């Protein structure tokens, strides 16, 4: 009660300009206004905050969608401090190590919802109310599926060879069904590579050039140009 009275008094003084709230403090790291992201492709989760990432399971169809949306949300809201591709440059902790389980989720949500303030200076903005929980779990899924440092190194050369083979098929105007005998073993090989790429969070499958390429070659919708592009983009980002 007492507290509320003081809060009200403070607010009225602040709005009348008798006390000025140091707004620039809130943006100690520059203009870190949270950027809303379009999460409409993902199913609604309701009002109540969940305790665990609902899109963690790679066998669900939401997994890849969550990663795609999370990548964009992360790049717009988190990368400036936590690093591109979630590789920290030292400004803020490396988030790839947060365990992909309910304990890691608890800590993740605590920071995501409340941000972080030290000695009155804002080090990380609060995102909870502005971006909401669908964005939270999409970003979470993106973060926990980053490959660990160097996890793709042993496979980079082979994946480039496969990429060149696929590119050859595309350039020669081959249709996937004409060359299934040549393509199927390559898909199987990339699938095996995709499953062996480690994450620091211990999430079961990393989102990598290999997993993305395989997703464009699954039986019902084979898209050779997209698979080739996924390899090119993913492998150049890994350098
Ligand atoms: C303005 C810089 C900044 C931005 C932007 C930012 N963070 Fe942070 N974040 C920090 C700092 C600094 C810490 C360290 C605070 C501490 O000591 O716990 C931190 C800590 C965290 C932690 C706890 C990590 C750990 O190992 O303890 C999580 C999780 C986190 N941030 C998630 C995010 C997410 C998700 C976003 C984007 C939606 C984001 N942060 C945006 C600066 C930032």
- pLDDT tens across 112-145, in order? 999 999 999 999 999 998 999 999 999 999 999 9
C-alpha to C-alpha distance for 164 and 63, rounded to whole angstroms: 28
pLDDT at 238: 55
**What Cα–Cα distance (Å) separates residue 35 from each residue in 9, 76, 130, 132?**
32, 6, 8, 11
**Could you tell me the two tokens for 67?**
């990663």
pLDDT at 84: 93
Nearest residue by C-alpha to atom 29 in ligand 1: 108
- pLDDT tens across 87-108, in order? 999 999 999 999 999 999 999 9
Nearest residue by C-alpha to atom 24 in ligand 1: 93
pLDDT at 25: 37
Residues in contact with ligand 1 (CB, 6 Å cut-off): 29, 32, 77-78, 80-82, 92-93, 95, 98, 108, 111-112, 116, 123-124, 127, 139
Nearest residue by C-alpha to atom 26 in ligand 1: 93
Task: Give the residue from 95, 110, 144 where a domain finishes.
Answer: 144
Q: Is the same domain home to 117 and 187?
A: no
Rounded to the nearest 5°, which phi and psi values hold at 55?
Answer: -115, 30
The boundaries of the domain holding residue 47 are: 22-144
For the chain, residues with pLDDT lower than 50 are 1-28, 30-31, 239
> Would residue 11 count as lying in a domain?
no
Q: How far is the CA of 162 from the centre of ligand 1 (A)?
A: 38
- pTM for the whole thing? 0.85
Give the CATH number of the domain where residue 113 resides: 1.10.760.10
Domain count, the chain: 2
Q: Is the same domain home to 123 and 194?
A: no
Nearest in space to 190 (alpha carbons), one of 169, 170, 161: 161
pLDDT at 237: 66
């Amino acid at each position: 009660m007492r507290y509320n009275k003081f809060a009200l008094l403070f607010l009225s003084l602040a709005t009348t300009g008798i006390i000025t709230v140091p707004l620039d403090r809130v943006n100690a790291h520059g203009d870190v206004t949270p950027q809303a992201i379009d999460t409409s492709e993902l199913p609604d989760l309701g009002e109540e905050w969940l305790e665990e990432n609902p899109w963690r399971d790679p066998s669900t169809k939401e997994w890849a969608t969550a990663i795609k949306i999370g990548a964009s949300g992360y790049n717009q809201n988190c990368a400036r401090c936590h690093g591109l591709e979630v590789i920290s440059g030292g400004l803020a902790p490396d988030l790839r190590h947060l365990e992909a389980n309910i304990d890691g989720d608890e800590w993740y949500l605590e920071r995501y919802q409340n941000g972080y303030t030290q000695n009155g200076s804002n080090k990380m903005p609060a995102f909870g109310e502005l971006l909401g929980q669908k964005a939270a779990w999409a970003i979470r899924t993106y973060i926990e599926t980053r490959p660990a440092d160097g996890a793709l190194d042993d496979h980079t050369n082979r994946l480039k060879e496969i990429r060149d083979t696929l590119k050859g098929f595309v350039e020669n105007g081959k249709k996937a069904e004409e060359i299934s005998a040549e393509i199927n073993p390559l898909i199987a090989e990339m699938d095996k590579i995709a499953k062996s790429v480690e994450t620091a969070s211990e999430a079961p499958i990393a989102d990598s050039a290999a997993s993305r390429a395989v997703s464009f070659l699954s039986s019902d919708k084979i898209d050779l140009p997209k698979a080739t592009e996924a390899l090119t983009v993913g492998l150049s980002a890994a350098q």
